[in-house]
Amino acid sequence: LAIDHLAVNSAANKNAIREAGAIAPLVALLQAGAGSKAATNAAGALWNLATSNDTNKNAICEAGAIAPLVALLQAGAGSEAATNAAGALCNLAISNDTNRNAICEAGAIAPLVVLLQAGAGSKAATIAAAALWSLANSNDTNRNAIREAGAIAPLVVLLQAGAGSEAATNAAGALWSLAYSNDTNKNAICEAGAIAPLVALLQAGAGSKAATNAAGALWNLATSNDTNKNAICEAGAIAPL
């Protein structure tokens, strides 16, 4: 827990913790499982250590963290360990293709999709949506795997929470990534009823991250897809855009 707190918002501390050799023992603590406070805190520490630090991301992956983090996801949305593991996996995947592939291959997508089912009031669901967003970014294999795991419908449900919801914001971001250059996903997202709640998020205005993500999702849904273009127009998107 002390390492977790030291790593928050301090790039120098994140580097110092890695250089002191903390990553390997933190990964070892994950093995104790979701019922262990030590494993829960270790996952939280790795979440913070991986934030905006490429060297730490690589070191955490090389230390073998991905498999035990994925195992912690199985504890479900009521588990702090699962929530922290989802956050760690999210940060490990950001702007790192090697880690994205490794996380997908370790079986993370299915349990992340299960976490979405807890709804917008759940921190686990909120972080799982962010993790799926990270995994889908710039990776068409993961985009297909996420759709095949059934993520689109629960992501669309999260949109209903509105622009003030981090869960809705992350869900819109995930749909933005899933719709990029993927016709099957574009059609599935439209068929799942995403357009109306995405248009509703636009109403929050230019200062809203939710509105920005919704605009990105609508842009990708409309690209080279006349059916979606018409549906987006009919849903009233033009005025708020």
Checking if the pLDDT of 3 tops 90, the result is no
Checking if the pLDDT of 9 tops 70, the result is no
Provide the phi-psi class of 9: left if phi over 0, else alpha when psi is between -120 and 50, else beta.
left
pLDDT in tens, 19-50: 999 999 999 999 999 999 999 999 999 999 99
| pLDDT-derived band at 14, boundaries 50, 70, 90 | confident
DSSP 174-238: HHHHHTTT-HHHHHHHHHTT-HHHHHHHHTT-TT-HHHHHHHHHHHHHHTT-HHHHHHHHHTT-T
Checking if the pLDDT of 1 tops 90, the result is no
pTM score = 0.93
pLDDT in tens, 171-194: 999 999 999 999 999 999 999 999
Nearest 10 degrees: Cα torsion 126, 132, 135, 137: -90
pLDDT of residue 11: 75
pLDDT in tens, 127-161: 999 999 999 999 999 999 999 999 999 999 999 99
Checking if the pLDDT of 170 tops 90, the result is yes
**Could you tell me where the DSSP H helices lie in the chain?**
2-7, 11-19, 23-30, 37-49, 54-62, 66-73, 80-93, 97-105, 109-116, 123-136, 140-148, 152-159, 166-178, 183-191, 195-202, 209-222, 226-234
pLDDT of residue 7: 56
| pLDDT-derived band at 240, boundaries 50, 70, 90 | confident
Q: In whole angstroms, what is the distance from residue 57 CA to residue 67 CA? A: 14
Checking if the pLDDT of 6 tops 60, the result is no
Burial of 174 (0-12, 13-18, 19+ CB in 10 A): buried
How much is the mean pLDDT over the chain? 94
pLDDT of residue 27: 98
From the CB of residue 113, how many other CB atoms can be counted at a distance below 10 Å? 22
Provide the phi-psi class of 107: left if phi over 0, else alpha when psi is between -120 and 50, else beta.
left
Q: Which two tokens stand for residue 65?
A: 């963290």
Checking if the pLDDT of 8 tops 80, the result is no
From the CB of residue 182, how many other CB atoms can be counted at a distance below 10 Å? 18
Average the pLDDT over each of 8-12, 67-71, 193-197 and give the range with the smallest value: 8-12
On whether the CB atoms of residues 48 and 14 are closer than 8 A, the answer is: yes
